[in-house]
């Protein structure tokens, strides 16, 4: 306790400079933590992928669909324990600003393949019995104030028209990283409507999701699925769910790299600022260090004072920055919830914050310590200021 008090007194001998340095460290750590959380949120879909699921899509592009009849041939392949399917609907709620993922799914099997979407049994039964029923994520329902029994109207973009649904279920995530901003409805409802309006677009599936008994068999089953439909009018590309999600992230990889670079540049800049502060402090106290040497203090005592003061400053700024990261990230997540449905601070980000605080504090004190240790007693006492 006495040591901390001594370091604090030393650090605040020049209050304005120390406060500004602490403020700079706080802002840097806050910015670094926020940028790293953005990168983590970007990979939320990848990190939340299951090793027991494969995604089968059209080999040409995700834009092209697959025949509904493929499901029976996939279902009977060895190693397949479950099968479901979904179509990206792309509907708009009231205005284009209210974007959220909405899918036409196989109501009977979808929530069995995705156990991370927790839906109460009574709500699941109600959803299955109502052809116009839908299920919304808790975060999405809270955003628009939806409740069980409410009618939700979407304007189709890919599938033109006005589509009405009744909220029969609100799912929650089994884990904090589960996306609670999605919207699901019956594929049968979509397909029956298409048969009446645009029959050539009916009986078509966007992607099949395949459940596996053993994750180790994923490569073999992927090859088996693709071999089954080779040389057909709609060949398939089957890959792990993680690889499927990574294909979307790779489209914006340059942005992710840029954010990572900026976050590390922020740390380097603050390292220079703290080093300059410690250099100024050491230069002002050369005479004091000379007196310590004359009184018999060893070099490690002087080095300890300089390193201790540097770590105290970076530690104080870093602690404030880490504490502020939580409310700032929470507010940012609310504002950007459309783009980042899962926005939470990972432990790894906090560990990096602490690590960089230590690195900045240590690196910033190296040169001042070297200079203080090398100064001769006579030269130090001769200097003024």
Q: Is residue 119 part of a domain?
A: yes
SS3 167: strand
Q: Is residue 220 part of a domain?
A: yes
Same domain, 17 and 74: no
Q: Is residue 28 part of a domain?
A: yes
Q: Is residue 55 part of a domain?
A: no
What local confidence, expressed as pLDDT, does residue 265 receive? Answer: 87
Mean pLDDT over the full length of the chain = 85
Q: Which of 76-90, 175-189, 361-375 has the lowest mean pLDDT?
A: 361-375
Parent domain of 314: 2-44+252-382
Q: What average pLDDT score do residues 282-293 get?
A: 69
pLDDT grade, residue 329 (50/70/90)? confident
Domain boundary among 171, 199, 234: 234
Same domain, 111 and 6: no
Q: Is residue 50 part of a domain?
A: no
pLDDT grade, residue 109 (50/70/90)? very high
Question: Residue 306: enclosing H or E segment and its boundaries?
Answer: helix 299-335
Same domain, 66 and 190: yes
Domain count of the chain? 2
Same domain, 274 and 207: no
Question: Is 133's pLDDT higher than 90?
Answer: yes
Same domain, 325 and 261: yes
Q: Is residue 247 part of a domain?
A: no
Same domain, 264 and 296: yes
Q: What average pLDDT score do residues 115-144 get?
A: 93
Q: Is residue 54 part of a domain?
A: no
Burial (Cβ within 10 Å: 0-12, 13-18, ≥19) of residue 273: middle
Pick from 109, 150, 142, 125: nearest CA to 334: 142
pTM value? 0.77
Q: Is residue 310 part of a domain?
A: yes
User: If you search the block for the tokens 């900045």, which residue do you land on?
Assistant: 360
Same domain, 97 and 36: no
Same domain, 107 and 15: no
Same domain, 83 and 164: yes
Burial (Cβ within 10 Å: 0-12, 13-18, ≥19) of residue 251: exposed
Same domain, 214 and 164: yes
CA distance 109 to 334: 32
Domain boundary among 170, 199, 234: 234
Strand ranges (E), the chain? 53-58, 66-67, 80-88, 102-105, 117-118, 133-137, 151-156, 161-173, 183-186, 204-205, 207-212, 236-240
Same domain, 107 and 196: yes
Same domain, 185 and 94: yes
267/9: higher pLDDT: 267
pLDDT grade, residue 385 (50/70/90)? very low
């Amino acid at each position: 306790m006495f040591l901390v008090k001594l370091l604090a007194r030393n650090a605040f001998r020049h209050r304005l400079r120390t406060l500004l340095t602490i403020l700079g460290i706080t802002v840097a750590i806050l910015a670094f933590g926020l940028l790293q959380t953005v990168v983590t949120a970007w990979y939320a879909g990848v990190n939340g992928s299951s090793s027991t699921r494969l995604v089968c899509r059209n080999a040409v592009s995700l834009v092209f669909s697959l025949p509904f009849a493929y499901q029976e041939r996939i279902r009977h392949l060895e190693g397949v324990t479950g099968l479901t399917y979904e179509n990206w609907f792309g509907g708009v709620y009231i205005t284009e600003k209210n974007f959220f993922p909405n899918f036409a799914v196989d109501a009977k099997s979808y929530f069995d393949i995705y156990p991370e979407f927790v839906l109460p049994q009574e709500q699941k039964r109600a959803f299955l019995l109502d052809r116009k029923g839908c299920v919304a994520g808790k975060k999405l329902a809270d955003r628009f104030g939806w409740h069980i029994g409410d009618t939700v109207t979407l304007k189709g973009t890919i599938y033109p028209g006005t589509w009405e649904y009744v909220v029969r279920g609100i799912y929650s995530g089994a884990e904090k990283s589960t996306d609670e901003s999605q919207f699901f409805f019956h594929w049968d409802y979509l397909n029956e409507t298409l048969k009446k309006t645009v029959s050539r677009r009916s009986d078509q599936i966007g992607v099949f999701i395949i459940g596996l008994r053993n994750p180790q068999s994923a490569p073999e089953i992927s090859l088996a699925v693709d071999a089954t439909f080779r040389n057909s009018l709609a060949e398939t590309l089957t890959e792990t769910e993680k690889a499927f999600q990574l294909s979307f992230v790779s489209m914006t990889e340059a942005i992710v790299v840029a954010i990572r670079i900026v976050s590390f540049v922020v740390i380097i800049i603050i390292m220079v600022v703290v080093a300059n502060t410690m250099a100024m402090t050491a230069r002002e106290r050369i005479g004091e260090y000379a007196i310590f040497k004359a009184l018999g203090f060893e070099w490690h005592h002087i080095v300890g004072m300089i390193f201790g003061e540097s770590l105290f400053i970076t530690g104080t700024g870093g602690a404030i920055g880490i504490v502020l990261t939580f409310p700032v990230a929470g507010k940012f997540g609310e504002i950007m919830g459309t783009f980042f449905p899962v926005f939470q601070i990972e432990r790894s980000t906090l560990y990096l914050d602490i690590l960089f605080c230590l690195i900045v504090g240590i690196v910033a004190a190296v040169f001042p310590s070297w200079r203080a240790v090398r100064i001769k007693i006579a030269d130090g006492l001769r200097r003024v200021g």
